[in-house]
Homo-oligomer: A and B are copies of this chain.
């Protein structure tokens, strides 16, 4: 705005927000310690955030949203390399640790520094772990040092243009040539091109490539190979390597997702990762002793995703709650000042259940994480019993939580009206990050159907009175009632709600199971019967996961209530209860169908919901403050700690390159000739 003054950002907190902070019934610092797992981890986190965010080099001269696609990548590389250089600095201070990498790559810190994603993420998140998990000691010796110190940058190239979640369908071939003791990689079709791997386009010079292994004329399925993509000095693609970027996307535009094709690319035999299966010099294929080992990483990633979703959502809800405390609009009582929009009860219904979801998703992620650790420690002892159960749970939770979190981010955005649509709100990038998780690492519907498969098997076991794994034990308890169609009485306590959701899940498993069986009796193959019943199967898996979410959060709540100050305990209790009550009303159709719930019970649920919204109202700003997300990570004019919403929106607008000149060149080029023409 070259023709006028700009509005400077006041050096004080918005009075409405200040007032909210006085109303809190608990200590915000107690919440922050709860959320960040104790005093020590919280102060480490804060130290790390200061260290990374206060570096002036970490700021972009022009905000990312104004850059071209190419510039976004270049700025992403600049900031990422500075970030990793700072980690090296920490190393020299003895402060090195995996937490720093995690924070920078998949954590909140990363989402603040590189809001459009990090082109190095897959180097740390997939390339290194794959070397560690699937390389022999020799291979680790050869590659790990150089990769760990970033003298080479890798990515993980699995997904192809034609195949994603169904990985057995991958088409890239790796054919062993015993003559030269090499594998020859080829992309036989257009759809066999690798497509999507982050950092693949212009950043990585190495990749783990997943390909169909052929030796002695036989296909043995898919295996991982280390392939050099670019010259280490010139960064030019090596002969036979066809590589580039896949183009602009809804979000995550500095991740540098790439494509990759092979034209007779030869790699030495030792580049097949051979910790499990092997190809000997003469081309003999040696099978892996067990095929379950590769499950581990997949499940680990899904657990991490659930946690990420809780974090991204906490960001969205922080913005929406603070904005709703500052924004005043639409009088409730005539003659009175316009209220803070958070005083409109419909606004409370938009915001507070999303706060509750952040908490419940996070508690569930931690619960799942413990389960994961327990199962993998059993795995190491050769006990595979709980693996299908964990797999079943991780699949449906990834699906439900990513989908709910993405929708919740949009609810928060829309709760901020038109202003939420602006990039400076930070909602668009947050949505981009969140919704991406609905399709990566296993498409959500496919995952639900994988859980359903486990549920149907468990149902068959329940039928013959077998003992079931802990997370599906309720199927055994509900089996008889479900088959008889009897509806247990509604009990409004949280354990009662959990039990009601389990009853619904069991009821849905029962229906899906019966319909598969009926269709088989009518002549369909098991697979066709399953496909024909897949709507009900997916619904059963969804119900199963939803019951578990309340159950895990409730179990976690009981633990926390013993640890945290009573005032904070009450807040957590309110939020978990709000989640359960809100979920009950959202899934009222299920409750009415499978549980004996009366009209009076429903009205009481609604009254409880409204009472909980009132209870959360005075604490809402305190709770989101307790997420402890600094402005440098939040990156939001609407959600900044000081609540100077309008000044910050103005300041962000003034950074637009279009605002650096009063008249844009298109006036002379296009507009004036058009206005002045008299055709």
Contacts and interface: CB of A to CB of B under 8 A. Distances in A.
A105 to B, nearest CB: 15
A241 B68 contact: no
Given A84-B674, A670-B78, A202 B423 contact: no
Contact of A330 (B165, B328, B646): B165
A418 to B, nearest CB: 5
A643 to B, nearest CB: 13
Interface residues of A, number: 155
Contact of A332 (B249, B410, B527): B527
A68 B70 CA distance: 9
A70 B243 contact: no
A439 B425 CA distance: 15
A110 interface: no
Centre residue among A92, A589, A603, A654 by max chain B CB count within 10 A: A589
A191 to B, nearest CB: 6
A169 B338 contact: yes
Nearest to A73: B658
Sorted nearest first, the 10 A-B pairs with minimum C-beta distance are A4-B242, A588-B589, A589-B589, A65-B248, A592-B592, A68-B68, A248-B423, A250-B428, A77-B666, A81-B674
26 contacts: A3-B237, A63-B248, A66-B248, A70-B656, A73-B664, A74-B665, A77-B666, A78-B670, A81-B670, A151-B675, A161-B646, A169-B330, A202-B663, A202-B664, A203-B671, A237-B662, A245-B656, A246-B653, A247-B424, A247-B652, A250-B421, A250-B431, A343-B531, A345-B535, A346-B445, A346-B534
A217 interface: no
Contact of A658 (B69, B235, B646): B69
A247 B656 contact: yes
Contacts of A241: 3
A666 B344 contact: no
Contacts of A674: 81, 84-85, 150
A602 interface: yes
B191 A646 contact: yes
Interface in A433-492: 435-436, 438-440, 443-446, 449, 485
Nearest to A241: B3
A559 interface: no
Interface in A599-617: 599, 602-603, 606, 609-610
A119 to B, nearest CB: 9
